[in-house]
Structure 1
Amino acid sequence: MTTLNAHSRERIIGLLGLARRARKLVDGQGRIIEAITSGEAKLIVLSEDAGANGSKKLRDKSASYEVPVVTFSSKEVLGKAIGRESVAAIAIVDEGLAAKLLERFGEL
């Protein structure tokens, strides 16, 4: 891993924490799907080790509603970033934070 990648990963984790504190993210598959279909979700972040069925469901729903999906780290890392033990997926519901995260994901 290069320094840029390590730095970008830390920035992503920081932005996810900021989104949680600002209450600009949603977790839980049902709530994420609700956010997608209501138009609230601006970005879906899936963990690399998310279950195949749940991952497919979220990817398919996101594709239908044209919501970008990115894959990032493990359930544990994603969970810790938002103050939980383990999380397979989250939805970002703020346009600005979603754009900033997409920019950071592009650096990885």
Structure 2
Amino acid sequence: MAKKEGKRTRSGTGREWLLLPVLRSWRSWRGRGPLTVEQEAELAELRPKVAQHRQRQREAGAEYRRTGNAAADRVAELEVLKEQGPLTVEQEVELAELRRRRSRSRN
């Protein structure tokens, strides 16, 4: 369930992906001469939307890295505790779950 919420947060309305091909086509116009007034207006309207979409993508990537780093730190912490003595049942379960997630994300 958390994944769905994360996707909804990242994609917002879910229509931002429609803007990217349009922006790419505008980029291809560079060097072909001046844009018409209508094209300039459309481009000006699209730029903030694309910038907002890219900002959300950067934030989602940063959050993904933060959670991954926190999980790796916790695995290291549990492994140090394991070397010092037996872990509790809860700690063993947590370590197994974190290792499972890490191995699944690497595949």
TM-based fold match above 0.5: no
Structure that is richer in helix per residue: 2
Give the alignment's TM-score, normalised by structure 2.
0.29
Structure that is richer in strand per residue: 1
Give the alignment's TM-score, normalised by structure 1.
0.29
Determine which structure has greater relative contact order: mean sequence separation of CA pairs < 8 Å that are 6+ residues apart, divided by chain length: 1
